[in-house]
């Protein structure tokens, strides 16, 4: 056995510090060249990473974006919920574009499967909850991506109604499980108002067994695989999906996703102890966005919010929904950096702010009783009652998309970045000024 007590903290993590869509894919792509193995540890096809290489734009949902580099191993860890149909679509669409997907993609046999009834359940529950609003009640829907994420994780916790990737490789076992699951789920879906024929265990077994056969060469025990890589001295990059404020335990509950998407999810979602991770990159936009429901203290409903949405192309990669936009909330970012143990920040989409006469940074919240706090409130109902307290900084008019060094940025842009560092206490080591790989200022 290796001496884990003295193992160096060699591995790296990339996590989003806001409500998702911070541009993690671009940073993972950048850091991929410095690492050997790229690992997803949470979430499912609710995430969407876009990477632009030259004139080509790649959107991946389940496969780590490191797949664009053929010599890297990409791993989907046990903490991910995998929709095999979507995974196969993604593999096929990458192969059509000449990207190799073979031995370089490994999927945990213990990752849970998103089944079709999970997606139907997700959408039906959201519809029922949203319909309350039409009847004069409060809309209690979460605004999910309807990708079946919550119901799949719920089954993981239920245990008796779960299906894991390894189960797809044994049709006898799969049929046995699905026979029970289908009768229970048919009744539950009917109770949610779904008008559909009963779920058919034999048909589902045939379809998902076939997916299993196609994916068989990728499915294995990834925990031992990752420890073997660690012992062999290979460096691992953990790629967070979704983001810290959507973490099931530490986010703005209940308006969160169903996994631990902060860096705290890495050990449980991969089997690699947190003590082996030495660097954590926290990815943040130069402003804030959110999709779906939930509190957002710095949200802008005015022309500035509209301008940020259009300049930043703030429409969802996964669902196409327009994102809610607002000023940078540093109370939230500082909290996420604390939870994730962030060692350096990447500030994305700084170019989107060019041309705004002044910029605001939220540094504190005013509570309903008039007192102030610089602590985040990871509870939706209480967070909805705060008022942001801003520091106002002058903006810059110059376009910065061609900037090559931080020191050459307009003075007010540098001042904005300096304030972020001072308030969060974390150095900004990467600044992104455009979607291209080349539009990235790296200071380490
Ligand atoms: P779910 O993950 O589909 O259950 O959605 C729960 C909430 O998380 C919704 O508000 C989604 O919009 C949000 N969400 C989930 N994944 C992402 C992401 O990758 N980016 C941004 N929001 C996300």
Sign of CA dihedral 374, 351, 411, 407: positive
Nearest CA among 390, 402, 427, 426 for reference residue 350: 402
Domain range list for the chain:
11-107+221-442, 112-218
Characterize the bridge pairing of strands 56-60 and 236-239.
unpaired
Question: Is 186's pLDDT higher than 60?
Answer: yes
311 alpha-carbon distance from chain centroid:
22
pLDDT at 1 over 60: no
Helix (H) or strand (E) holding 151: helix 149-158
Residues 6+ apart with CB under 8 A from 392: 358, 359, 360
C-alpha 376/C-alpha 296 separation (Å) is 12
- In the chain, what percentage of residues exceed pLDDT 70? 99
For residues 420 and 288, is the Cβ–Cβ distance under 8 A? no
435 pLDDT band, cuts 50/70/90, is confident
pLDDT at 181 over 90: yes
Residue 423 has pLDDT above 60, yes or no: yes
pLDDT value for 193: 95
Cβ of 155 less than 6 Å from ligand 1 = no
Distance between CA atoms of residues 367 and 266, nearest Å: 33
Tell me how many helices (H) and strands (E) the chain has.
12, 20
CB 113 within 8 A of CB 205: no
CA 143 to centroid of ligand 1, rounded, Å: 8
Please tell me the chain's helix, strand, coil percentages from 3-state DSSP, rounded to the nearest 5: 40, 20, 40
Which residues are CB-contacts of 435 (< 8 A; sequence separation ≥ 6)?
26, 50, 52
Which residue's CA lies nearest to atom 1 of ligand 1? Answer: 144
Identify the DSSP state of 202: H
Q: Work out the average pLDDT over 57-84.
A: 92
Q: How far is the CA of 147 from the centre of ligand 1 (A)?
A: 9
- Please tell me which residue, 4 or 202, carries the higher pLDDT value: 202
pLDDT in tens, 224-283: 999 999 999 999 999 999 999 999 999 999 999 999 999 999 999 999 999 999 999 999
DSSP for 31-74, please give it.
Answer: HHTT-SEEEE-S--TT--EEEEETTEEEEESSS-GGGGSTTSEE
Going from the Cα of 103 to the center of ligand 1, the distance in angstroms, rounded, reads 30
Mean pLDDT of 71-79: 96
Map 77-109 to HEC letters: CCCCEECHHHHHHHHHHHHHCCCCCCCCEEEEC
CA-atom Rg of the chain in angstroms: 22
**Whether residue 181 has a cis bond before it, omega within 30° of 0:** no
CA distance 420 to 408: 18
In 105-221, which residue ranges form alpha helices assigned H by DSSP? 116-134, 149-158, 171-191, 201-215
Q: Which residues contact 98 (CB under 8 A, 6 or more apart)?
A: none
Cβ neighbours for 19, distance < 8 A, ≥ 6 positions apart: 243, 245, 246, 252, 288, 289, 290, 291, 294, 296
Report whether residue 47 contacts ligand 1, using a CB cutoff of 6 Å: yes
Alpha helix ranges (H) inside 192-299 = 201-215, 222-231, 265-270
21 lines ligand 1 (CB under 6 A): yes
In the predicted model, what is the mean pLDDT of residues 79-105? 95
Which positions are catalytic? 21, 49
Residue 50 has pLDDT above 80, yes or no: no
CATH level 2 (architecture), domain 112-218: Orthogonal Bundle (1.10)
> Are the C-beta atoms of residues 235 and 10 closer than 8 Å to each other?
yes
CB-ligand 1 contact for 271 (6 Å cutoff): no
Q: Look at the domain 11-107+221-442 and name its fold.
A: Adenylosuccinate Synthetase; Chain A, domain 3 (3.90.170)
Sign of CA dihedral 229, 230, 234, 239: positive
Among 413, 409, 442, 405, CA closest to 427:
442
β-sheet bridge partners, residue 277: 11
**How far, in Å, is the centroid of ligand 1 from the Cα of 45?**
10
Residue-wise pLDDT for 381-398, tens only, equals: 999 999 999 999 999 999
Q: By the 8 A CB rule, do 164 and 110 touch?
A: yes
Question: Which band of pLDDT confidence, cut at 50, 70 and 90, is reported for residue 135?
Answer: confident
**11-107+221-442 with 112-218: one CATH topology?**
no
Angle value at C-alpha 219, between 213 and 222, nearest 5 degrees: 175
Task: List the residue whose alpha carbon is closest to atom 17 of ligand 1.
Answer: 242
Predicted TM-score of the model (pTM): 0.95
């Amino acid at each position: 056995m290796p001496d884990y007590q003295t193992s160096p903290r060699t591995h790296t993590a990339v996590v989003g510090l806001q409500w998702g869509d911070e541009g993690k894919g671009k940073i993972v792509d950048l850091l991929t060249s410095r690492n050997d193995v790229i690992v997803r540890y949470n979430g499912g096809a609710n995430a969407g990473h876009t990477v632009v290489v030259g004139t080509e734009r790649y959107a991946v949902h389940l496969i780590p974006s490191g797949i664009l580099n053929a010599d890297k191993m990409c791993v989907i860890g046990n903490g991910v919920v995998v929709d095999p149909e979507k995974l196969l679509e993604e593999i096929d669409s990458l192969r059509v574009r000449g990207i190799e997907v073979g031995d370089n993609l490994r999927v945990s046999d213990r990752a849970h499967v998103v089944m079709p009834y999970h997606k139907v359940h997700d959408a039906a529950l959201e519809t029922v909850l949203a319909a309350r609003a039409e009847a004069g009640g409060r809309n209690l829907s979460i605004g999910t991506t309807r990708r079946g994420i919550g119901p799949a994780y719920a089954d993981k916790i239920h245990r008796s109604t779960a299906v894991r990737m390894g189960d797809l490789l044994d049709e006898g076992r799969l049929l046995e499980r699905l026979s029970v699951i289908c009768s229970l789920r048919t009744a539950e879906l009917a109770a949610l108002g779904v008008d559909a024929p009963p779920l058919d265990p034999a048909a589902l077994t045939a379809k998902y067994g076939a997916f299993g056969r196609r994916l068989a060469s990728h499915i294995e025990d990834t925990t031992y695989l990752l420890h073997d890589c660690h012992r062999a001295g290979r460096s691992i990059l953990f790629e967070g999906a979704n983001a810290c404020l959507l973490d099931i335990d530490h986010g703005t509950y209940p308006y969160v996703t169903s996994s631990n998407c902060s860096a705290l999810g890495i050990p449980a979602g991969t089997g690699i102890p947190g003590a082996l991770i030495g660097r954590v990159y926290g990815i943040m936009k130069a402003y804030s966005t959110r999709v779906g429901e939930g509190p957002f203290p710095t949200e802008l409903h005015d022309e500035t919010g509209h301008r940020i949405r259009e300049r930043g192309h703030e429409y969802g990669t996964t669902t196409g929904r327009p994102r809610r936009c607002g000023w940078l909330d540093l109370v939230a970012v500082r909290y996420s950096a604390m939870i994730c143990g962030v060692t350096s920040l990447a500030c994305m989409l700084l170019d989107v702010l060019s041309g705004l006469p002044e910029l605001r940074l939220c540094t504190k919240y005013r509570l309903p009783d008039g007192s102030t706090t610089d602590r985040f409130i990871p509870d939706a109902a209480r967070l909805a009652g705060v008022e942001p307290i801003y520091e106002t900084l002058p903006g810059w008019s110059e376009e910065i998309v061609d900037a090559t060094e931080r020191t050459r940025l307009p003075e007010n842009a540098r001042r904005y970045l300096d304030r972020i560092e001072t308030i969060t206490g974390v150095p900004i080591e990467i600044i992104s000024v455009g979607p291209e790989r080349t539009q990235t200022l790296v200071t380490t």
